[in-house]
Amino acid sequence: MVILAIVLIIVLTIVIVWAIDKFVPKKLKPVINIVLWGLIVFLAYITYMSVYKEIQFNQLKKERFAVVIDRLIDIRDSQLAYKNVNGKYTDSFETLINFVENGKVPITQRRDTLVLDEERTKAFGGVETMKTITLIDTLDYWSPKDSLFDGSDRYKKMMDVGIGKEGAKFTLKAGRLEEFSVFEASVDKAIVLDDQEKYLIEKEKQVMSVDGVNGPALKVGSMEEVFTKGNWPKSYTNKE
């Protein structure tokens, strides 16, 4: 809208210059023409800078979002491993970090086997009746610190957004949706884009498209549905 308004003003100014050239006395024309052409150049510069600022903003946005998304993926992967062991997610970064540091996730194998069905055997007068049950064997364990973070200690700062507003932290929630455990980690886009133009930030928070990060925040998981993915397109990260 701003760019359109400036363009309309430029067109109007050109029309005024033409009208002055046609109807204003010759003595006044040079001064008025210089002022008006100066105004045209000024408005053209403002228009160019408006477009250029948006191009710069979009490039910076993608770079910052990529950093945040990588951290959200680390949180998501850590939560999935935590749930594998504890049967639920956690809303505490301290608990999650301690789990990554010291936890062990079992590697299991499911197998079916036949066993005596005592109730049916008794019901059939002692005739042995078998039933199938599933056994889960623990074969080994793996370390979240080694497997998810490849020896890196970045998990110790997984609560930090790491870019944008200094000292900003992710919001971490966890709970239950009916019988299912759910979690959500998020950060407002305004925090990630803290030092940018307010109107550009507000415009970004209203994005709803297949190739953008939809909504006012970057987030992974959901407290409203059983969902463990993020709200970003694949083009923003190479970790998925």
Q: What share of the chain is helix, strand, coil (3-state, %, to 5)?
A: 50, 20, 30
Query: Which of 145, 141, 148 has the alpha carbon at shortest distance from 108?
Result: 141
What is residue 15's predicted lDDT score, i.e. its pLDDT?
74
Name the residue with tokens 């759910």. Answer: 182
Name the residue with tokens 């939809």. Answer: 214
Residue count (the chain): 240
Judge contact between 77 and 99, C-beta under 8 A.
no
First-last CA distance in the chain: 37
Helix (H, G, I), strand (E, B) or coil at 118: helix
Judge contact between 174 and 91, C-beta under 8 A.
yes
What is residue 57's predicted lDDT score, i.e. its pLDDT?
92
Query: Which of 48, 84, 47 has the alpha carbon at shortest distance from 76?
Result: 84
Q: How far apart are CA 97 and CA 99, in angstroms?
A: 5
What is residue 42's predicted lDDT score, i.e. its pLDDT?
76
What is residue 118's predicted lDDT score, i.e. its pLDDT?
79
pTM comes to 0.73
Chunked mean pLDDT (size 10), the chain, 240 residues = 62 70 67 71 70 87 95 96 95 97 80 76 74 70 87 93 95 95 97 94 91 94 95 84
What is residue 87's predicted lDDT score, i.e. its pLDDT?
94
